[in-house]
């Protein structure tokens, strides 16, 4: 017992201080992209041609759909003038799907829930996670939030085992045909009022599988979505920021 206590004291406090202090992000982290329309060459479509999910559009000016973007940076590598770059901003979440479309302008800040819902969920938010055909990457980063480094339980947020114990769903994956009915039944089992969070490019737009006939283009095609968290997968900090913005904690 003494050895256990000494080991615990030696480890110290491991949970990061977010939101009071932003934790260090890895060098390879890719966040909010920036578009410099003035630097674009007329008629150039290199970035759009390199994008595996058609997230980049060059019709009528360059635009980027964060909801379809996998942050692979192939578009930035293909751009001959470096008009498109990926920055370090992790605040990517949005309440409305259209707010994920950017032309280089400042992103629309993720709006919190209405006051009545914030009073219900602001101190205690229980979520049921549904993998609707996901590859496991988004699911893994959601699981990471429950570890000692992130400890989302300190904000009253918890992933629960049953939809009947949950306030909302956090959906990953493009919603395959085999998971479509399961997602709807899980949503119907939630007590009202209820929330839906689409986590990752697949859950927002279908992601890399958007052209497949065996998927339905994300959670929004089956259930109403209250929060979109882009990424492939989203960094745990991006997920946590979106959840805290939703309940008005940052």
Task: Give the pLDDT of residue 165.
Answer: 95
Task: Give the pLDDT of residue 150.
Answer: 96
Query: Up-side HSE of residue 66: CA atoms within 13 Å toward CB?
Result: 35
Residue 1 clears pLDDT 90, i.e. is over it: no
Task: Give the pLDDT of residue 88.
Answer: 94
* Torsion of the alpha carbons at 131, 186, 231 and 49, rounded to the nearest 10: 80
Predicted model pTM: 0.93
Give mean pLDDT, residues 13-41.
90
Residue 202 clears pLDDT 90, i.e. is over it: yes
Instruction: Count CB atoms within 10 A of the CB of residue 137.
Output: 15
Residue 104 clears pLDDT 80, i.e. is over it: no
At 38, the pLDDT band (50, 70, 90 cuts) reads confident
Long-range contacts of 186-190, Cβ-Cβ distance < 8 Å, separation of 24 or more: 186/128, 186/130, 187/163, 187/222, 187/223, 189/163, 189/164, 190/128, 190/163, 190/164, 190/166
At 36, the pLDDT band (50, 70, 90 cuts) reads confident
At 107, the pLDDT band (50, 70, 90 cuts) reads confident
Q: Is 203 helix (H, G, I), strand (E, B) or coil?
A: helix
Give the span between the Cα atoms of 64 and 66, in whole angstroms.
6
Residue 105 clears pLDDT 80, i.e. is over it: no
CATH class of the domain comprising 115-246:
alpha beta
Residue 172 Cα to chain centre, angstroms? 9
Please say whether the beta carbons of 170 and 129 come within 8 A.
yes
Beta bridge partners of 125: 157
Please say whether the beta carbons of 220 and 97 come within 8 A.
yes
Instruction: Count CB atoms within 10 A of the CB of residue 133.
Output: 23
Residue 92 Cα to chain centre, angstroms? 7
The pLDDT tens digits of the residues spanning 123-139 come to 999 999 999 999 999 99
Quote the tokens at residue 113.
């829930």
Residue 174 clears pLDDT 90, i.e. is over it: yes
Element (H, E) at 140: helix 137-144
Task: Give the pLDDT of residue 96.
Answer: 95
* Cα separation values, 158 from 142, 143, 168, 233, Å: 11, 10, 11, 20
Residue 106 clears pLDDT 80, i.e. is over it: no
Please say whether the beta carbons of 105 and 144 come within 8 A.
no
At 205, the pLDDT band (50, 70, 90 cuts) reads very high
At 39, the pLDDT band (50, 70, 90 cuts) reads confident
Give mean pLDDT, residues 188-213.
95
Residue 162 clears pLDDT 80, i.e. is over it: yes
Task: Give the pLDDT of residue 40.
Answer: 85
Higher pLDDT among residues 150 and 107, named by residue: 150
């Amino acid at each position: 017992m003494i050895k256990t206590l000494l080991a615990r004291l030696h480890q110290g406090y491991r949970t990061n201080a977010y939101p009071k202090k932003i934790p260090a992000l890895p060098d390879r982290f890719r966040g909010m992209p920036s578009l410099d329309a003035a630097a674009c060459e007329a008629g150039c479509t290199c970035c759009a041609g390199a994008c595996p999910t058609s997230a980049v559009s060059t019709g009528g000016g360059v635009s980027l759909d964060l909801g379809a973007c996998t942050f692979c940076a192939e578009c930035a590598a293909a751009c001959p003038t470096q008009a498109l770059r990926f920055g370090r901003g992790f605040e990517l979440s949005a309440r409305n799907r259209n707010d994920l479309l950017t032309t280089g302008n400042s992103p629309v800040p993720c709006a919190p829930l209405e006051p009545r819902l914030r009073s219900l969920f602001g101190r205690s938010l229980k979520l049921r996670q549904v993998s609707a055909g996901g590859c496991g990457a988004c699911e893994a980063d959601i699981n990471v939030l429950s570890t000692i480094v992130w400890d989302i339980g300190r904000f009253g947020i918890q992933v629960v085992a049953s939809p009947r114990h949950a306030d909302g769903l956090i959906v990953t994956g493009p919603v395959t045909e085999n998971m479509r009915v399961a997602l709807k039944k899980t949503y119907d089992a939630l007590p009202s009022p209820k929330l839906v969070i689409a986590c990752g490019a697949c859950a927002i737009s279908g992601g890399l599988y958007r052209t497949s006939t065996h998927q339905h283009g994300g959670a929004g095609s089956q259930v109403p979505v209250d929060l979109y968290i882009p990424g492939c997968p989203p960094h745990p900090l991006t997920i946590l920021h979106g959840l805290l913005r939703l309940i008005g904690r940052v």
